[in-house]
Amino acid sequence: MANLVIDVGNSRTKIAVFIDHELIYSQTLNILKIEDIEEVFTKFKIKNSIVSSVSSEASMLEEVLINRSNYIRFSASHQNLVNLTYTTPQTLGLDRLAAIIAASKIYPNQNCLVIDAGTCITYDVVSSSKVFSGGSISPGLNMRFHAMHTLTGRLPLVNTDNDFSLWQGTDTISSILSGVQNGACFEVDGFIKTYQSRYNDLKILLCGGDAKFFDTRLKSSIFAHTFKMEPNLVLIGLNEVIYQYND
């Protein structure tokens, strides 16, 4: 029997199916439809399901899952896989919590820095003793581009350019690309160096929709053995919660 894991984010929804701890199916959708869930139930023998949602509205989705599986709605109450000392656990992003649960499972007894580069960029450390005390949240790439366009009078809307490699711009568009993309990379690099100065033997895990963008730009400045892209980190964490809940 299989576990169905659904991560409803700000921009996209990820659906995954696990058998035990092995990911056997995944799909990323811009808009989640009930038909998509029905299709998964047709393809796989789903026993357990879990949803993590940034929105409080998931009633139609939950109705399907409750009727067809052992359903869990992920929340801050599922925190006993890590020692959470965050002072407002009820406001902690569920994707952040799932990612640190996964990090502590994949790399036990090791300090891990999780960088989730999505709508926002989040930086979270779970210690070798499985303690999570807090982290940082900053605007993601697209949010930066949109903010510059929306909050100014004349700056155009620019999109991420994976081929852009100039250290400075020579016109307005390339200057925006330089400021946003280089600035974000400098930020990520700065956070990494700060955490490395505070935690020994730090494993750096990168996930999120913009993970590939940062992956190619950061590898040159970070020792390969300390850095790994884990695109399914949140999904893995949610699957671990299913096992914890059903034990």
Same domain, 114 and 181: yes
- What's the total number of domains in the chain? 2
Same domain, 98 and 207: yes
Return the closest-CA partner of residue 25 out of 10, 5, 8.
5
- pTM of the predicted protein model: 0.90
Q: Where does a domain end: 14, 40, 73? A: 73
Same domain, 169 and 225: yes
Annotated active-site residue in 95, 116, 124, 210: 95
Instruction: Show the domain range for 208.
Output: 93-232
Q: What is the pLDDT of residues 194-230, one digit of tens each?
A: 999 999 989 999 999 899 999 888 866 665 568 888 9
Q: What is the pLDDT of residues 53-98, one digit of tens each?
A: 876 556 778 888 999 999 988 887 766 788 888 888 888 888 899 9
Tell me, yes or no, whether 109 lies in a domain. Answer: yes
Return the closest-CA partner of residue 133 out of 143, 144, 146, 123.
123
Q: 3-state DSSP helix/strand/coil percent for the chain, to nearest 5?
A: 40, 25, 35
CATH number at residue 154: 3.30.420.40
Q: What is the pLDDT of residues 12-52, one digit of tens each?
A: 889 999 998 899 999 998 888 888 899 999 999 999 999 98
Return the closest-CA partner of residue 8 out of 40, 38, 75, 53.
53
The question of whether 95 is a catalytic residue gets the answer yes
